[in-house]
Chains A and B, each alone.
Chain A
Amino acid sequence: MMFSKHKNPWRLLATASALLGVPAAAMADWGLNLTRGVTPYSETVYDLHMLILGVCVVIGVVVFGLIFYSIFAFRKSNGAKPAQWHESTKVEVLWTLVPFLILIGMAVPATHALIMMENTGGSDMTIKVTGYQWKWHYQYVDEGINYFSTLANDSNVARQLDSGVDPKSVPNYLLEVDNHLVVPVGKKIRFLTTAGDVIHAWWVPALGWKRDAIPGYINESWAQIKEPGTYRGQCAELCGKDHGFMPIVVDALSEQDYAAWVAKMKSATQHAEASTAPVAAVAEK
């Protein structure tokens, strides 16, 4: 119910656009609004976004309404005679105080949301995210798993200048990577973000936030994903030539599936270590 209530204004907008000649069917997958996301924080942020947007729309309708009314009612061609009043302390105080009170009304929930965001305590697991030009490195601090994640090859081929490949033919064009970040649902995950060269920003809209990855800094944030699924995002801080080509893909798995994935990764890592050790020894000779 809540969901459909929120969606209505957008459907209205879609209808309005349809009247303007934009096919409504296309409108459905266009994505007009912020995502509700899949974490407690992202939902709070979504509600806050809708609240402020609503306040702005109401004020906008009133102010623009007054302007358009003036344009039609007080035009010289209609014989309007100009009044000469140009001051009113009462009105000035009123339109200073009322916006101030509205702002306080917005600041209270915003403050709560921010306190919630910054509370990274009590986490169940920690993942360290490091940005590089132009890939991400993920380190599962407690599990000893770590790997790089780079743009998927088919996207990389298609995105070259004059590649001749139609981006529409590439599944999840520019939003696919070779190695997904795999996380369990329902656990409070603490993310530590940093960078190895320049500043990047790690952003998955469905989680509700982005955080800069800065060399020399370790930033803390958290997420607790509710539903299993695949969530996609991108680097959000200009980091050089291929800034647009270092996406993020998060696979949220059920606890059992996650445990199975961890076990698989660990054995693969041990296997790889066992097999690379002799090779390294040979290479040294």
Chain B
Amino acid sequence: MSQAAAHHEHEHHDHHPSGITRWLTTTNHKDIGSMYLIFSLIMFFIGGAMAMVIRAELFQPGLQFVDPQFFNSMTTMHALVMIFGAVMPAWTGFANWMIPMMIGAPDMALPRLNNWSFWILPFAFTLLLSTVFMPGGGPAGGWTMYPPLVLQTGAAFPFLIFAVHFMGASSIAGAINIIATVFNMRAPGMTLMKLPLFVWTWIITAFLLIASIPVLAGAVTMLLTDKFFGTAFFSAAGGGDPVMFQHIFWFFGHPEVYILILPAFGIVSAIIPTFARKPLFGYSSMVYASAAIAFLSFIVWAHHMFTVGMPLAGELFFMYTTVLIAVPTGVKVFNWVATMWQSSMTFETPMLFAIAFVILFTIGGFSGLMLGVTPVDFQYHDTYFVVAHFHYVLVTGAVYALMAGTYFWLPKWTGHMYDEGLGKLHFWMSTISVNVLFFPQHFLGLAGMPRRIPDYSVQFADFNMISSLGGFVFGLSQLLFVVVIVKCVKGGAKATDQVWDGAHGLEWTLPSPPPYHSFNTPPAPETIEGGMR
């Protein structure tokens, strides 16, 4: 007993279990953040491998590699893995690493919950990925899980549902933790309107998660009881309604879209001012625009399902609210452009990814606006135009912001500078190939190619071949990303505390790498003021 008491002083700083036990039992925000990020990177490559299967099959007309059922399970799993396994955990990883450091806290508010919310994920995805080897194959009804089709899933069905439950539980726990941390752990003087935008966008994201994930959990639970317990929530023959599932699903699904992109807005709002050496234009309007987008995200859901045949008044309502989102989104883009105006820019890899984000995400925004206009959506819906749209906002949007953020904070995390030459090579290879990959898909969609088909009429052959070639190069380019990260973790030029000469914010006042517990004593109010830009 006395020995334990004697150790107590030390324990806080340098005594923690080593080896696997350290990672299994850790309650440290940086360790958990790293695990989230590594997990997400692995999922990014698993989901990416599935995308390679898809693009290989679509390389030319006819079926060359996989049968249609397996192809459908690839599109379904690719989406589930990328959304729930790659992008969402990556954002939680960034939040874990950065939020305590940004608000002047020692750690997250609920460290044990934090450990648990991470360790649910490997189990969830083991369940999900194992379904590919089950009788009947993996889920193949699309990540949207529309009944009645999803009820035709084989042995994989209950595993799919429970995997979704687990992912949801993990997300909700993570969101609760972030809200608790930001509301309770801010250093004195760190008022809400002084928070970095990444923290702001994450709080809004966390509220979206808490409001929307339980809706998804309810929807998939109803699928489960429809399949196994004789209910008929979504079966017309039993007095239920298959369209009701789509309403419930998209009531979750549209906020989910902003869960994936809002933290990206926060990261880009940190990076552009840093490398422009100029304060972010319109900080408060950025906060209000994020809140407006979050609010609107709850009243636009049916634009994902205009073709189900809603009453005219419903179609008009959802069209008007949808196109209205262009206003706050536009404000954000204009603010970033205004930040660059009359600035003094340099173009390190994080800045390159951030500028590419602004341009390419805006292209995805334009196609989103077009899709929001109901009468034309009757043509665009469920075509490759939609595929092009959501890959522009998710790959060159969310994923680009994740890469920008990784390059931006990697020196802070590891204490080493990454290889700038390789980083730039990664950027240019990715940016050229990602446009070769997704831009032609706009044309395919407009020319009439439906999404989620394993084979197509020969008139679509040329653009599919171009798109596939872009896809293979984009996939290979991501290996460079891993090389840069591994190299940087292993060594490299010593990073200064501030790392970037234009960087402002509390995380840059800590050493690189930061101490195990970020701020054991709250930073001085002057430091907080100095970090405000």
- A positions within 8 Å CB-CB of B: 26, 29-35, 41, 44-45, 48-49, 52-53, 56, 59-60, 63-64, 66-67, 70-71, 74-77, 80-88, 91-92, 95-96, 99-100, 103, 106-107, 110-111, 113-115, 117-118, 158-163, 165-168, 172-175, 197-199, 201, 203, 205, 208-212, 214-217, 219-221, 233-245
Asked whether, in the complex, the Cβ of B379 is within 8 Å of the Cβ of A49, the reply is yes
- Interface status of B323 (Cβ within 8 A of chain A): yes
Asked whether, in the complex, the Cβ of A174 is within 8 Å of the Cβ of B309, the reply is no
Asked whether, in the complex, the Cβ of B345 is within 8 Å of the Cβ of A205, the reply is no
Out of B279, B376, B463, which one reaches A48, CB within 8 Å?
A: B376
How far apart sit A45 and B376, CA to CA, in the bound complex (Å)? Answer: 6
Out of A173, A211, A245, which one reaches B61, CB within 8 Å?
A: A173
How far apart sit A48 and B369, CA to CA, in the bound complex (Å)? Answer: 12
Whole-angstrom distance from the CB of A57 to the nearest CB of chain B? Answer: 8
How far apart sit A82 and B243, CA to CA, in the bound complex (Å)? Answer: 54
Please give me the residue from chain B that is nearest to A209 by CB atom.
B378
**A106-B323, A205-B448, A212-B308 given as contacts; is B457 within 8 A of A60 (CB)?**
no
What are 30 pairs between A and B in contact, CB < 8 Å?
A30-B462, A33-B447, A34-B379, A48-B375, A49-B379, A52-B370, A67-B340, A67-B358, A74-B342, A82-B276, A84-B279, A87-B283, A96-B331, A103-B323, A103-B326, A113-B375, A114-B374, A162-B63, A167-B62, A208-B378, A209-B378, A211-B307, A216-B237, A216-B242, A217-B236, A219-B308, A241-B68, A241-B72, A243-B68, A243-B452
* Residues of A with C-beta under 8 A to B531: none
Out of A81, A174, A235, which one reaches B457, CB within 8 Å?
A: A174
Asked whether, in the complex, the Cβ of B338 is within 8 Å of the Cβ of A91, the reply is yes
Whole-angstrom distance from the CB of B333 to the nearest CB of chain A? Answer: 6
* Residues of B with C-beta under 8 A to A198: 148-149, 152
Interface residues of B in 43-100 (CB under 8 A from A): 61-64, 66-69, 72
Out of B280, B346, B457, which one reaches A75, CB within 8 Å?
A: B346
Whole-angstrom distance from the CB of A27 to the nearest CB of chain B? Answer: 9
Out of B149, B366, B446, which one reaches A240, CB within 8 Å?
A: B149
Asked whether, in the complex, the Cβ of B337 is within 8 Å of the Cβ of A63, the reply is yes
Out of B279, B307, B340, which one reaches A86, CB within 8 Å?
A: B279
- Interface status of B214 (Cβ within 8 A of chain A): no
Whole-angstrom distance from the CB of B515 to the nearest CB of chain A? Answer: 32
Asked whether, in the complex, the Cβ of B307 is within 8 Å of the Cβ of A244, the reply is no
- Interface status of B261 (Cβ within 8 A of chain A): no
* Residues of A with C-beta under 8 A to B64: 161-162
How far apart sit A84 and B312, CA to CA, in the bound complex (Å)? Answer: 50
Whole-angstrom distance from the CB of A16 to the nearest CB of chain B? Answer: 13
- B positions within 8 Å CB-CB of A: 61-64, 66-69, 72, 140-142, 146, 148-149, 152, 236-237, 241-243, 276-283, 285, 305, 307-309, 312, 315-316, 319-320, 323-324, 326-327, 330-331, 333-334, 337-347, 355, 358-359, 362-363, 366, 369-370, 373-376, 378-379, 381-383, 443, 446-448, 450, 452-459, 461-463
How far apart sit A104 and B15, CA to CA, in the bound complex (Å)? Answer: 63
Asked whether, in the complex, the Cβ of B448 is within 8 Å of the Cβ of A67, the reply is no
Main secondary structure of the interface of B (DSSP, over half): helix
Asked whether, in the complex, the Cβ of A216 is within 8 Å of the Cβ of B236, the reply is yes
Asked whether, in the complex, the Cβ of B315 is within 8 Å of the Cβ of A114, the reply is yes
* Residues of B with C-beta under 8 A to A197: 148
**A33-B446, A159-B455 given as contacts; is B324 within 8 A of A103 (CB)?**
yes
Asked whether, in the complex, the Cβ of B334 is within 8 Å of the Cβ of A84, the reply is no
* Residues of B with C-beta under 8 A to A107: 319-320, 323
Asked whether, in the complex, the Cβ of B236 is within 8 Å of the Cβ of A45, the reply is no
* Residues of B with C-beta under 8 A to A160: 63
Asked whether, in the complex, the Cβ of B462 is within 8 Å of the Cβ of A26, the reply is yes
Asked whether, in the complex, the Cβ of A209 is within 8 Å of the Cβ of B363, the reply is no
Asked whether, in the complex, the Cβ of A242 is within 8 Å of the Cβ of B345, the reply is no
Asked whether, in the complex, the Cβ of B378 is within 8 Å of the Cβ of A80, the reply is no
How far apart sit A233 and B456, CA to CA, in the bound complex (Å)? Answer: 12
Whole-angstrom distance from the CB of B113 to the nearest CB of chain A? Answer: 37
Whole-angstrom distance from the CB of A119 to the nearest CB of chain B? Answer: 9
Out of A26, A56, A99, A166, which one reaches B327, CB within 8 Å?
A: A99
Asked whether, in the complex, the Cβ of B283 is within 8 Å of the Cβ of A163, the reply is no
* Residues of A with C-beta under 8 A to B312: 114-115, 118
Please give me the residue from chain B that is nearest to A118 by CB atom.
B312
How far apart sit A45 and B370, CA to CA, in the bound complex (Å)? Answer: 11
* Residues of B with C-beta under 8 A to A33: 443, 446-447
How far apart sit A87 and B193, CA to CA, in the bound complex (Å)? Answer: 15
Out of B142, B383, B458, which one reaches A168, CB within 8 Å?
A: B458
Asked whether, in the complex, the Cβ of B453 is within 8 Å of the Cβ of A199, the reply is no
* Residues of A with C-beta under 8 A to B376: 45, 48-49, 52, 110, 113
Whole-angstrom distance from the CB of B437 to the nearest CB of chain A? Answer: 16
Asked whether, in the complex, the Cβ of A31 is within 8 Å of the Cβ of B448, the reply is yes
How far apart sit A175 and B453, CA to CA, in the bound complex (Å)? Answer: 13
Q: Give me 13 other A-B pairs in contact (C-beta within 8 A), A84-B278, A199-B149, A199-B242 excluded.
A: A45-B378, A52-B370, A56-B370, A60-B362, A67-B337, A67-B355, A103-B323, A159-B63, A159-B455, A205-B448, A210-B381, A215-B148, A220-B309
Asked whether, in the complex, the Cβ of B381 is within 8 Å of the Cβ of A52, the reply is no
* Residues of A with C-beta under 8 A to B308: 212, 214, 217, 219
* Residues of A with C-beta under 8 A to B383: 236
Asked whether, in the complex, the Cβ of B320 is within 8 Å of the Cβ of A210, the reply is no
**A100-B327, A174-B457, A236-B382 given as contacts; is B344 within 8 A of A76 (CB)?**
yes
Asked whether, in the complex, the Cβ of B369 is within 8 Å of the Cβ of A82, the reply is no
Asked whether, in the complex, the Cβ of B343 is within 8 Å of the Cβ of A244, the reply is no
How far apart sit A173 and B62, CA to CA, in the bound complex (Å)? Answer: 9
How far apart sit A82 and B501, CA to CA, in the bound complex (Å)? Answer: 13
A-B CB proximity, top 4 nearest: A216-B236, A244-B453, A31-B447, A113-B375
Asked whether, in the complex, the Cβ of B324 is within 8 Å of the Cβ of A209, the reply is no
Asked whether, in the complex, the Cβ of B315 is within 8 Å of the Cβ of A212, the reply is no
**A92-B331, A99-B327 given as contacts; is B242 within 8 A of A236 (CB)?**
no
Please give me the residue from chain A that is nearest to B445 by CB atom.
A34
* Residues of B with C-beta under 8 A to A84: 278-279
How far apart sit A87 and B455, CA to CA, in the bound complex (Å)? Answer: 52
* Residues of B with C-beta under 8 A to A118: 312, 315
* Residues of B with C-beta under 8 A to A201: 307, 381-382
How far apart sit A104 and B232, CA to CA, in the bound complex (Å)? Answer: 42
* Residues of A with C-beta under 8 A to B241: 216
* Residues of B with C-beta under 8 A to A216: 236-237, 241-242
**A45-B375, A76-B346 given as contacts; is B452 within 8 A of A114 (CB)?**
no
How far apart sit A34 and B445, CA to CA, in the bound complex (Å)? Answer: 8
* Most chain B Cβ neighbours within 10 Å, of A92, A219, A238: A238
How far apart sit A64 and B333, CA to CA, in the bound complex (Å)? Answer: 10
* Residues of A with C-beta under 8 A to B282: 86-88, 92
* Residues of B with C-beta under 8 A to A67: 337, 340, 355, 358-359
Asked whether, in the complex, the Cβ of B309 is within 8 Å of the Cβ of A217, the reply is yes
Asked whether, in the complex, the Cβ of B69 is within 8 Å of the Cβ of A241, the reply is yes
Asked whether, in the complex, the Cβ of B458 is within 8 Å of the Cβ of A95, the reply is no
How far apart sit A220 and B307, CA to CA, in the bound complex (Å)? Answer: 11
Asked whether, in the complex, the Cβ of A86 is within 8 Å of the Cβ of B283, the reply is yes
Please give me the residue from chain B that is nearest to A72 by CB atom.
B345
Whole-angstrom distance from the CB of B291 to the nearest CB of chain A? Answer: 14
Asked whether, in the complex, the Cβ of B337 is within 8 Å of the Cβ of A212, the reply is no
How far apart sit A261 and B320, CA to CA, in the bound complex (Å)? Answer: 45
* Residues of B with C-beta under 8 A to A111: 316, 319
Out of A66, A95, A203, A233, which one reaches B341, CB within 8 Å?
A: A66
**A67-B355, A162-B63, A244-B454 given as contacts; is B379 within 8 A of A205 (CB)?**
yes
